[in-house]
Structure 1
Amino acid sequence: MEFILNFLIWSSDPDIFVIPILDHPVRWYGLLFAGGFIVSQQIMFWLFKQEGRPEKDVEKLTVYMVVAVVVGARLGHCLFYNPGFYLSNPIEILKIWEGGLASHGGALGIILAIFLFSKKYPQYPMLWMLDRLVIVVAITGAMIRTGNFFNSEMEGKMTNANYGVVYARFTEDVLRYDDRKVEDVIFLKGGEKVSNTPGIHPITAKIIYQRGVELTAQDKVFFENQLRSALLRYDDVVEHIDFGKDEPLAYKFYQEDNRSVAEIYGLGVSRHAAQLYEAGYCILLMLLFFWLWKEKRFVLPQGFSFALFMTLLWSLRFVDEFFKLNQEAFEEGMTLNMGQLLSIPLVLSGIGMMIYFHQKSKKTMSGEDRKIS
Structure 2
Amino acid sequence: MALQFPEIDPIIFSIGPLSVRWYGVMYLIGFAFAMWWANKESEKPNSGWTKEQVSDLLFYGMLGVILGGRIGYVLFYNFNKFLADPVTLFKVWEGGMSFHGGALGVITAIFVFAWRTNKSPLAVGDFVVPMVPVGLLAGRIGNFINGELWGRTTDVPWAFVFPSGGDEPRHPSQLYEAFFEGLVLFLILVWYRKHPRPAGSIAGLFLLGYGTFRFAIEYFREPDAHIGLYAGVISQGQILSLPMVIGGLGLMIWSHRREAARAA
TM-score by length of 1: 0.67
- Structure 2 CA distance, aligned partners of 1:349 and 1:42? 29
Alignment correspondent of 2:162 = 167
Task: Confirm or deny: 8 A CA contact 2:177 2:217 kept in the other structure.
Answer: yes
Tell me, which stretches of 5 or more residues in structure 1 are unaligned?
Answer: 169-235, 242-268, 367-373
- Partner amino acid, structure 2, of 1:94: F
Q: 1:145·1:275 contact (CA, 8 Å) conserved in 2?
A: yes
SS in 2 for 1:331: coil
Could you tell me whether the CA contact under 8 Å between 1:36 and 1:140 is conserved in 2? yes
Name the structure where helix makes up a greater proportion of residues.
2
Aligned counterpart, 2:23: 29
1:348 equivalent to 2:250? Answer no
Cα distance change of structure 1 residues 52 and 348 upon mapping to structure 2, 3 Å threshold? closer
Q: Is the 8 A contact 2:114 2:121 kept in 1?
A: yes
Give the equivalent residue in structure 1 for 2:166: 240
How many residues matched?
260
Moved over 4 A (4+): none
Which amino acid is 1:55 matched to? K
Contact kept? 2:5, 2:161, Cα under 8 Å: yes
By percentage of residues, which structure has more strand? 1
Name 1:338's counterpart in structure 2: 236
The equivalent of 2:32 in structure 1 is: 38
Question: How far did residue 162 of structure 1 move?
Answer: 2.6
Q: CA deviation at 1:332?
A: 4.4
Matching residue's letter, 2:187: L
Task: Tell me the secondary structure at the aligned position of residue 329 of structure 1.
Answer: coil
Amino acid at match of 1:109: G
Q: 1 CA distance for matches of 2:174 and 2:130?
A: 19
Q: 1:52 to 1:130 in 2, by over 3 A?
A: closer
CA RMSD of aligned residues (A): 1.6
SS at match of 2:219: helix
**C-alpha separation in 2, matches of 1:133 and 1:8:** 38
- Partner residue in 2 for 1:11: 7
Q: Does 1:301 align with 2:227?
A: no
Task: Measure how far apart 1:23 and its partner are.
Answer: 2.7
Residue 328 of structure 1, aligned match among 221, 225, 231: 225
Shift of 1:289: 1.4
SS of equivalent residue, structure 2 residue 14:
strand
Of 109, 114, 126, the match for 2:110 = 114
Give aligned-pair identity as a percent: 32
Amino acid at match of 2:7: S
Cα 1:79/1:52, change in 2 over 3 Å: closer
Q: Could you tell me the TM-score, scaled by structure 2's length?
A: 0.93
Contact 2:23 2:143 in 1 (8 A): yes
Q: Deviations over 1:300-351 (max 9, x none)?
A: 2111111111111111000111111112322246320100011111111111
Measured against aligned partners, the alpha-carbon deviations of 1:219-278 in whole angstroms (never above 9, x if no partner) come to: xxxxxxxxxxxxxxxxx3xx432xxxxxxxxxxxxxxxxxxxxxxxxxxx2211111111
Partner deviation per Cα, 1:2-42 (whole Å, 9 max, x = no partner): xxx973433111111112xx332211001111221111111
